[in-house]
Every structure is written in structure tokens, then in C-alpha cells.
Amino acid sequence: MNERAKNILLWAVIGISFVALTSFVVVQARKSSGKKVRIKHKNPKKILIVGDSQSAIKTANGGNISFTYPNLLRDKFSDKKIDVLALQGKTTGWMLSNLPNQLKGKKYDRVYIYGGGNDATNSSITIDKIISNIQKMVNLARENGADVFVNLGYKIEGTSGKFGNYNIMPITPYIKDRKQWIPLVERRKLVQKRLSKEIKGANLIPIYDLKQNTTDGIHPTAQGHKLVAQAIAKTL
């Protein structure tokens, strides 16, 4: 092999190596720019769940709701104390207003935040506000010493399934025609997307498939809540 051929081969090898190295660096950068945040409490004993009807264990009148996922987690992890700050119909604004008092005098190892659905249904609440409220809750929980997880919620299927399918979603005092749900469902999807990209200082519970276990297109059935519990149990 003459000198010119050797030089061409050498530069070809260098070029291939550079491309391979660049690809490796890009892949590693993508991995490192994910939402993983170092967990201080590997075996949390005191846990707080913040949310709305998806997480509530009490009705507005104080009655017990036994089948929702926090109670399933309590049964599964009897060595842990799991508190719940959640009520039906509440927005992230309510959660943010009530969280400081819930944290006061308590030291939670972990806080799970699952909200935004009711906000998305209210078109007067901007998505920027939803993200801001959740970020402020993350910050408050971290300042309290807790590791924080933000739950992105279930897969919104639309008319290809049941969750987010406006055909089975309820008529309400504000929704007179089921087609009015369509833009609100799209807002829910956008909230999920933006939370996954914008929330800082929290780990994420990825979107999970509840396998169409709903009767109203919004709330899981008892079987659906078992799947939610499974998704959260993976982080415990």
C-alpha cells in the first residue's frame, strides 16, 4: 500500500471514530439530560400524596373512598405512613395553597404530586399557571427535605380507547355538548407534555396505560386504580 493510500485509510478511520464518538456523546447527553434526580431517601417511611379526585381517599362530605390507589399503597406498604392531601374537583391552585400547612411540622421523605386535570378542564386557567403551580409545589416539598415525584398520569387515548374519549365523558353544568370536551382533552395532553419537559428538581412517573378501565373517560375504575398503584409502587 502506497503512502497516499495509507493516508486516505488513516483519515477514513479517524472520520469513522469521530462519528462514533459524537454519536456516543449525543446519546449520553440525552440520557443525562433526562428528569432523573438523585434520591436521598431510598426507603421512604413518611410519604405525602397531593392531588385531586384521582388521588382522593375522602369525598367532599368526608366519606371514605376505599378503592383509590393511596389506600392500595397503604395496604401494600404497611411499614410506611402515607398521608393524602387530595379532594375531588380541586385544582393545582388549591393544592399549592394547602401544601404549606400540610408540610408544617412534618418531615416527609417523599412527596408525590398528581394534578392538573381539573385545571385543564377550566379554560380560564392557563397551562403556564398549571406548570408554575406544580413547580412551586415541587420547590416547597424539596425545601421540606423530601424527594419529589410528579405523576404524569394515564395515557389519554381519545376515541381510539376510553380515556379522553369525549363520547363517554359526562355532560356537566359547563359542558352542554360532549364535543366541547375535545379541546379540553387536548389541553390535558399538552399539560402532560410540558410537565415532562419543564419540571425541575423532581423525578417523573411516566405516563401509564390503564387499559381502558374507566366508565366516564376521566376516572379509573377500581381495577384502573390497581394499575396506578402498580406504577407508583415501582418507585418505592
CATH number of the domain bearing residue 217: 3.40.50.1110
pLDDT one-digit tens code per residue, 202-216:
999 999 999 999 999
Residue 40 lies in a domain: no
For residues 59 and 166, the model is more confident at 166
What single letter denotes the amino acid at residue 116?
G
Residue 19 placed within a domain: yes
61 band by pLDDT with thresholds 50, 70 and 90: confident
Do 159 and 183 share a structural domain?
yes
Domain that holds residue 63: 46-233
Classify each residue of 202-234 as buried b or exposed e, where b means 16 or more C-beta atoms within 10 Å of its C-beta.
Answer: bbbbebbebbbbbeebbbbeeebbebbbebbee
Other beta carbons within 10 Å of 51: 26
In a domain, 39, yes or no: no
Helices (H), 80-159: 92-103, 117-121, 127-143
Same domain flag for 74 and 146: yes
Q: In total, how many domains does the chain have?
A: 2
**Assigned domain for 99 exists:** yes
Residue 100 shares a structural domain with residue 176: yes
Q: What is the pTM of this model?
A: 0.84
- 50 and 25 part of one domain: no
